[in-house]
Structure 1
């Protein structure tokens, strides 16, 4: 762990009982800004993210990222003693994050009402596929299903193929982001009321929140958004265009003023003055023809030369980055968008840095994901007053 100045959430204690991505991503965001995040894991195997994803030398490369800056304790929450331990942790926490199926905490005697009797100021963040109520609440829910139900999958991919997906767990991460935002709003309200509350995040609703004007388009205009591949219908030019050296460059020049600059860069200023292309609506109607015209031009230049010309003209453009491109890019380096920590087995370990930046109280990645139960003695000793004998008894009983 580093010894840098505390982040803006350094006065907060978060107990995280979730697993996989949606709940733990909420915890990651809070830890990034200095909250003490105590991750409670099953003693037998821990969070499945310790084993998921790509591995290097037998080590998951996902775990060090999503568990960064957290403390790991083990606790069998299915046991009565484990539930008692969680109650003691909650009594000294500001936030509890969980993503069990609805009703699980209630079966363990840990309902919101019971938890608020222990700690009236507790903010309980509950992340599920469908939310805490409604006819689907009891169903098993994954991020992929939330993406489908929230509308994202239907509009992702090529129009002549089945729905596709992005290469990341977007639904889970959106739910985690909204959960962190909800926790902050609930804590802000607590400053006035002195009371905590429940933050109920449904993955499908987190996805739905990003679906722009999809619903009024359907109800009021009879328009159903469909899969359109690399374009948005009527938004032109905005696409991936080929270059002379086999790459592709994204160009976004659908605004009138930007299209005028693109035409100048193409040495075709007259295009911006033509009735057929001079307005946003006209370009949308001739989208395919316009893309073919621009592609014929971009194919004549190597990628770097094309980008230099577009940037000089003030046209938004960029290559489609891979991880290798990010690692080599001077802008990433100048803004420290990639942070590097030392992993005990793997050495230099790069990952995305904290977002957003705060000028006075910035966040920081304070450590990689911990070993299972690494902080048992520290947390249980400091917060619960457990001595060596008590810790030994819990271990023998497999409670921790």
Structure 2
């Protein structure tokens, strides 16, 4: 951890009301950049993310809740709603990812919050956005991935659509929400005005779908599932070696010429079937078969060294053990060890991107229990003493 590193957003206070992934991941990103993130959890079990992850002990919380302080607050009762209003009144940013209309139902309508705190930036994340005919529908990340076009094109052509092994729809939505916060902070610096950021899961996915829409609009092409390749982009695939799999990306003309030389088959670069980007795309399957035949006679280490020697983008398919052991990961501190309260020392991904003047980092571990910082935050920010906190606790407010 880097307690001395305050980060670029060290003077920004964030109140995070969201649960599960989209809202909390947005809070993680801002917290990594130095913001003081106050995580509001329901009394009792807290955020459901505390129970997420694979393996017997659930450690995913330790990543998504790092750099945060936790308070409990029952947002479903008037007393909790009033407590939240007081907290939000002292914040720069509010994050929420509830179903549209929920904040309004709780008496926390953004328009009212902005009247009380005109510089407040409210990042709202939801399945379909805050308006439109689908706004009131429930929406999770997977639904956003489906509607945004991601799910349809992922997987093998002869099988049902597959999913990615992480909640990419949620994290994309959170990332765009974070981008919106940073842009809104810049606007506030110039004008003093806060604003509302409306980020929809399906739109965040749609944003990264490259040429999917214009390809249909202009060419009548509907992208289909293509397995491990991108149609027309060749060679760029995973190939079999004697002892494993290896990824090679040699689709640029100059790079393909170097790949042909590395393979000892320089004539491929001038072969009319493979000499140009368009030609290689048309003969993609044939070219992959040639490369696969070549790699199958060599080990991963042998192919890797040839790719390095000829400056060809390539690499092994990493799982967690390879990441932890890799010297490049180590040199750049891409994976760090955090002293957590529940599990001791725990390896996890570092904070990215890297800033030269105000680097991001992990300054505090995830809160071990819901409401761990009730006294610290409600006391310092709202002036509540121990007696007042005890009454709130007895009344089920915190």
TM-score by length of 2: 0.98
Secondary structure at the aligned position of 2:185 is classed as helix
Report the counterpart of residue 136 of structure 2 in structure 1.
138
Report the counterpart of residue 51 of structure 1 in structure 2.
51
Q: Distance in 2 between matches of 1:106 and 1:54?
A: 35
Report the counterpart of residue 35 of structure 1 in structure 2.
35
Report the counterpart of residue 20 of structure 2 in structure 1.
20
Q: Distance in 2 between matches of 1:315 and 1:55?
A: 37
Question: Would you say how many aligned residue pairs link Structure 1 and Structure 2?
Answer: 397
Secondary structure at the aligned position of 1:96 is classed as strand
Q: Tell me the CA shift for residue 135 of structure 1.
A: 0.3
Q: Distance in 2 between matches of 1:347 and 1:98?
A: 30
Secondary structure at the aligned position of 2:122 is classed as strand
Check the 8 A contact 1:124/1:198 in 2, yes or no.
Answer: yes
Pick from 249, 252, 258: which aligns with 2:255? 258
Secondary structure at the aligned position of 2:247 is classed as strand
Is 1:282 aligned to 2:285, yes or no? no
Q: Distance in 2 between matches of 1:13 and 1:277?
A: 56
Report the counterpart of residue 389 of structure 1 in structure 2.
387
Q: Tell me the CA shift for residue 55 of structure 1.
A: 4.3
Secondary structure at the aligned position of 1:60 is classed as coil
Pick from 341, 350, 353: which aligns with 1:353? 350
Check the 8 A contact 1:32/1:354 in 2, yes or no.
Answer: yes
Report the counterpart of residue 377 of structure 2 in structure 1.
379
Check the 8 A contact 2:70/2:372 in 1, yes or no.
Answer: yes
Alignment of 1:159-174 (within 5 A): 159-174=157-172
Report the counterpart of residue 5 of structure 2 in structure 1.
5
Is 1:368 aligned to 2:365, yes or no? yes
Report the counterpart of residue 76 of structure 1 in structure 2.
74
Check the 8 A contact 2:44/2:370 in 1, yes or no.
Answer: no
Alignment of 1:329-344 (within 5 A): 329-344=326-341
Is 1:302 aligned to 2:319, yes or no? no
Check the 8 A contact 2:5/2:360 in 1, yes or no.
Answer: no
Check the 8 A contact 1:87/1:118 in 2, yes or no.
Answer: no
Q: Distance in 2 between matches of 1:32 and 1:5?
A: 10
Report the counterpart of residue 206 of structure 1 in structure 2.
204
Q: Tell me the CA shift for residue 54 of structure 1.
A: 2.1
Is 1:230 aligned to 2:236, yes or no? no
Report the counterpart of residue 323 of structure 1 in structure 2.
320
Q: Distance in 2 between matches of 1:261 and 1:361?
A: 40
Is 1:215 aligned to 2:200, yes or no? no
Tell me which moved more, 341-350 or 313-322.
Answer: 341-350
Secondary structure at the aligned position of 1:342 is classed as strand
Check the 8 A contact 2:232/2:284 in 1, yes or no.
Answer: yes
Residues 2, 277 of structure 1: CA spacing in aligned structure 2 closer, same or farther, 3 A cutoff?
closer
Structure 1 residue ranges, 4+ long, deviating more than 6 angstroms after superposition: none
Q: Tell me the CA shift for residue 277 of structure 1.
A: 1.1
Structure 1 runs not aligned, ≥5 long: none
TM-score by length of 1: 0.98
Q: Distance in 1 between matches of 2:121 and 2:359?
A: 23
Check the 8 A contact 2:3/2:362 in 1, yes or no.
Answer: no
Structure 2 runs not aligned, ≥5 long: none
Q: Distance in 2 between matches of 1:364 and 1:345?
A: 20
Secondary structure at the aligned position of 2:115 is classed as helix
Q: Distance in 2 between matches of 1:293 and 1:270?
A: 13
Q: Distance in 1 between matches of 2:80 and 2:274?
A: 67
Secondary structure at the aligned position of 1:97 is classed as strand
Q: Distance in 2 between matches of 1:51 and 1:335?
A: 31
Q: Tell me the CA shift for residue 288 of structure 1.
A: 0.8
Question: 1:149-208: CA deviations, max 9, x gaps?
Answer: 000000000000001000000000000000000011111111122110000000000000
Q: Distance in 2 between matches of 1:348 and 1:303?
A: 33
Question: 1:363-394: CA deviations, max 9, x gaps?
Answer: 00112210211100000000000001001100
Question: 1:335-359: CA deviations, max 9, x gaps?
Answer: 0000101223422201110110001
Q: Tell me the CA shift for residue 2 of structure 1.
A: 5.0
Q: Tell me the CA shift for residue 79 of structure 1.
A: 1.1
Q: Tell me the CA shift for residue 145 of structure 1.
A: 0.2
Secondary structure at the aligned position of 2:124 is classed as strand
